[in-house]
Amino acid sequence: MKYDWILFDADETLFHFDAFKGMQLMFERMGTVFTHDDFEQYQQINKPLWVDYQNGTINADDIKHIRFKGYAEQFNTTTSALNSAFLDAMADICSMIPQARELLDALAGKARLGIITNGFTELQEVRLARMGLSEAFEHVVISEQVGVAKPDAGIFEYTMEKLGQPCKSRVLMVGDNLHSDVLGGMNFGIDTCWLNRTTEPESADITPSYTVTCLSQLQTILLANAR
C-alpha cells in the first residue's frame, strides 16, 4: 500500500448529508411543515456561515446560533435546542455514500484510517455508532474540538500529531470539497483525492493527486498500489 494513513472527510464523502430532509424531520417533530422554499431561505443564511467558518472568521458556536436565531424566536425556544434537534434528525436519517462501506472493508488491515471533518461533535459519534463504524477509524478529528477548520493548516497539523507524525508522503486526504479537503491537503503537503460525484468543473488552480467520481474507483487505485 502506497499510504499508511487514509484520512476521509465525513459529509458527502462517507455519509450523505441531506440537510433538507434533516430540517423536514426536525420541524415535523415540532408539528410544522418545512418546505423547499423554507429551505432556500435557510440556506441563504447557512451557506455563507460555512464559508466564513472555513475562512476562520467565525467559530462553530456562531454557526449554531446564527442559523437558527430566527427560528428560535419564532418557536420560543433556544438556538442550542434547535441545533441539537437538527443534529438528532440528521443522525436518524444517516446513510452511507455508495461504495463507502466496501472501500473501508477493503482497506481494513492494509492502511490505518482516520476522519477530518468540519462537522459538529454532537453528530459524529452517534453517526459512526449507528453505521457500525466506531472501530473503523483510529482517529476522528472534528474542527469544533480543534478550534480551526479545513482548509486551515492547523487542523492538519493537529491530525498529524494525533497520528504520531507519519511521513507526509504516506498520508492521503480524501474528500468531496475541492477547497477545504483538496486545497487544504495540498497546501499542507499531503496527497489528495477529490471525490467529484457530481462532476463539478475542475479548477485550474487546484490539482488533486487523484480525481474519482465514485469510491469504487478510489478502491481500485489504492489496491492496485498495494500490490
Give the DSSP per-residue string, 91-122. HHT--BPTTHHHHHHHHTTTSEEEEEESS-HH
Which is nearest to 211 in space by CA: 226, 190, 225, 197?
197
Q: Is 222 buried (19+), middle (13-18) or exposed (0-12) by CB count in 10 A? A: buried
Question: In degrees to the nearest 10, what's the CA dihedral of 123, 125, 131, 135?
Answer: 160
Which is nearest to 86 in space by CA: 149, 24, 10?
24
| 4: annotated active-site residue | no
In the structure grid, which three cell numbers stand for residue 56, read together? 476562520
- Which H or E run includes 177? none
Q: Which of 9, 11, 176, 181 is catalytic?
A: 9
> Any residues with CB less than 8 A from the CB of 208 and at least 6 apart, and which?
178, 182, 186, 192, 193, 194
Active site positions, annotated: 9
